[in-house]
Structures are given as C-alpha cells and as structure tokens.
Amino acid sequence: MHADELPPKQKTPTWVWVVGSGCLVLVVAGLVAVFFTLRYVQRANDPERQWPRFAEVLPHDQRPEGWSITGVPSPGTDGDLWLVRPPGTNDQITVSRYPKSEAAAVRTALFDADELEADAPIVGPVGRFDPVAGKVLVQGRELPTLRYYTTPEAPQKEDGLLGAIQTAAATSNLLVDLSTDPEGELVVLEIRRQGKREPIPDADLESLLAPFRIGTKTP
C-alpha cells in the first residue's frame, strides 16, 4: 500500500483536550488545596508558633502545663482567635484579639446587656438570655464582664442525638474584657460551659487566669 493510499489519521477532538486539561487543572488545584489546608492545620496547632503569639495577648513567664492551643483567624474580622483548653475541663474557652479599628464596635456588640433571641432548627430559641453586666477583680485589676445563657431554659433531658444537640446549644457564658488599653486593641476571653444553668463563678475565672500576668499582681 502506498503512502497516499494509507487511511487518514484520526484526529483527537478538541473537546477531549479541553476536558482533559480541565480535569488535570482540577486535580492539581485539589492537591494544592489539600497541601495548603494541611499546612494551615499544622500551623494552627503548632504550639511553637501559637504560644509566642498568644503571649502578646496574655503574657506569662512559662507555658501552662498540659494546655492545648489552636490559633485561627477571628471570623469576620481582622483579628485573631485562640481556642485553649486547660487539663481537667470540658469548658469551651476562646481568647480573641481585635485591632484598634474594630475594638469599639466589637466591644459594644459583645458586652451589650440587652437580650437577643433567634429561632434555631431543632434547638428552638437561642441567643443571649438573662444577661448580667458586672466586674471581677483579678490580680488587682477590675475587669468588665458579661454573663448570660444561650437558651431561655435549661436543656431538656432528651436521649440520643437530639439530647446531645440541645445540651451543646445550652451554655452558661462568661465574657471578660482583658484589654489593657481602653483606646487600643480589644482582648476578650469567653468561657462557655455546656448544659449548665448557673453562672460561672469568679473563682473559676481566677483559677483559669492564674498562669498569666493580668494586672498589678503577678502570678
């Protein structure tokens, strides 16, 4: 058979290249996203990275033994947020830092003693109930506080998943303004205690903050 008698080569349709390239791009993008996600998680949970930054907010002479710490950006702000947990507690504890440009607005929103209410699926009414503004003396400093509950009543004694959801949603909350400069950045500590319908005692707050330099009295 002569060359001019050979059957013409079948060309690969252009759409195959386009779709194939698109799939390859998606695969590469997915791998890159996984890489950066894992890197972000590692950094967020790296104590050697988080404790020095946390010390800018809550100074301390040495790291509290047995504490876990995770650092993440504060949602919807340019600030920082740390999730911390001392040993022997199930409380949800966060420390947030907001820049000076946002401090006044965030302080007003967080420490407003008015009730707030919204309806949530399964759980029912949630928000800020029975809020009580006050002050607590810690290491010689008087710190503004706000105590409130996230549900209007104690959680019902339900079994299974429904009971777990209702218990998780019903918390006793304590907000504490730890800022050292009222005109500067805002530093807020929040303690959330699940399934309890009683205020978080001042003694629990004092014990939590004992490892840190909060005021005129050093630990």
Taking residue 53's Cβ as centre, other Cβ atoms within 10 Å add up to: 13
Q: Is the pLDDT of residue 2 over 60?
A: no
Measured between alpha carbons, how far is residue 6 from residues 2, 11, 12, 13, 36 in Å? 7, 15, 18, 21, 52
**Would residue 11 count as lying in a domain?**
no
Query: Nearest to residue 153, comparing CAs of 171, 177, 179, 133?
Result: 171
**Would residue 155 count as lying in a domain?**
yes
- Region of 91 please: left (phi>0), alpha (psi -120 to 50) or beta: beta
Read off the pLDDT band of 78 (50, 70, 90).
Answer: low
**Would residue 166 count as lying in a domain?**
yes
**Would residue 146 count as lying in a domain?**
yes
Distance of CA 194 to the CA centre of its chain: 16
Q: What is the pLDDT of residues 26-39, one digit of tens each?
A: 444 443 344 334 44
Per-residue pLDDT, 35: 36
**Would residue 100 count as lying in a domain?**
yes
3-state DSSP assignment of residue 148: strand
pTM of the model: 0.74
Q: What is the pLDDT of residues 122-132, one digit of tens each?
A: 667 888 899 99
Query: Nearest to residue 190, comparing CAs of 148, 134, 129, 219?
Result: 148
Of 33-37, 57-61, 145-149, 200-204, which gets the smallest average pLDDT?
33-37
Q: What is the pLDDT of residues 154-192, one digit of tens each?
A: 766 666 776 677 777 788 999 999 999 989 999 999 999
Read off the pLDDT band of 113 (50, 70, 90).
Answer: confident
**Would residue 13 count as lying in a domain?**
no
In which domain, by residue range, is 101 found? 45-209
Per-residue pLDDT, 1: 53
> How many CA atoms lie less than 13 Å away from 35 in the CB half-sphere?
6
Which residues make beta-bridge pairs with 81?
A: 72, 96
**Would residue 62 count as lying in a domain?**
yes
Per-residue pLDDT, 40: 43
**Would residue 161 count as lying in a domain?**
yes
* Total domains present in the chain: 1
